[in-house]
Amino acid sequence: MHQGLCALVSTLSNPLLAQNLKSPEFQEGATKGFDLVYNLDYEEARSAFQNLRERYPQHPGPRLYLALTLWQHELLRRQQLGLERFASPESFLQGREPQMPADERNAFFKYVAESQAVCEAVLKAKPGDRDARYFLGAAHGALAAFAITIDHDKREGCRHGKKAYEYHLGIVMEQPTYYDAYVTLGRICHAWTV
């Protein structure tokens, strides 16, 4: 499989995971939001993640979850959430769909940038923080998936997918029990062998 397509699968890791940045209350709120996403109730999911963002303003997760909700909602609008599309991700590189509404597209990139900025602030205070690096990797994964599925841009997808891989590989090299990062690594490795 083309290396650029690996970027797609890199973001499909569960961004709900990551260890120390999560209290049980945070996890409960995030789980509620993801349950709504899985039930295709995107408006309610956005409301749940916005509430989580307000309760945890210094946490990178809610912003990333809002971005991913917008991305998945766009895939549903395009009728591209079928398993066959993800079983053969190169199909995302074919054809041109209608443009994503500009306000939602801008919001996606704004939320990802905000998540990255929060991570950078954490890393400035705590250099090497694994959870912040995990979320930075997940943010690059989200950008990779967007590039492949929405913009059909292999170059950008590969660039961000590689960064996601590097962040998460660095984490597991330091802490082999940081299992959340293996999801990205396993999916990329699997994509390279397909």
2-26: pLDDT as tens digits: 344 343 444 444 444 444 566 788 8
State the pLDDT at residue 92.
58
Confidence at residue 1, expressed as pLDDT on a 0 to 100 scale: 37
Give the gyration radius of the chain's Cα atoms. 16
Give, in degrees to the nearest 5, the angle at Cα 70 between 172 and 140.
Answer: 30
Note the CATH architecture for domain 3-193: Alpha Horseshoe (1.25)
**Domain ranges in the chain?**
3-193
pLDDT in tens, 56-108: 998 999 999 999 999 999 988 887 666 555 555 565 555 566 788 999 999 99
* For range 177-183, the mean pLDDT: 86
- Which pLDDT belongs to residue 81? 60
Range with the poorest average pLDDT among 59-63, 152-156, 174-178, 182-186: 182-186
* pTM of the full structure: 0.79
- Residue carrying structure tokens 């939320």: 111
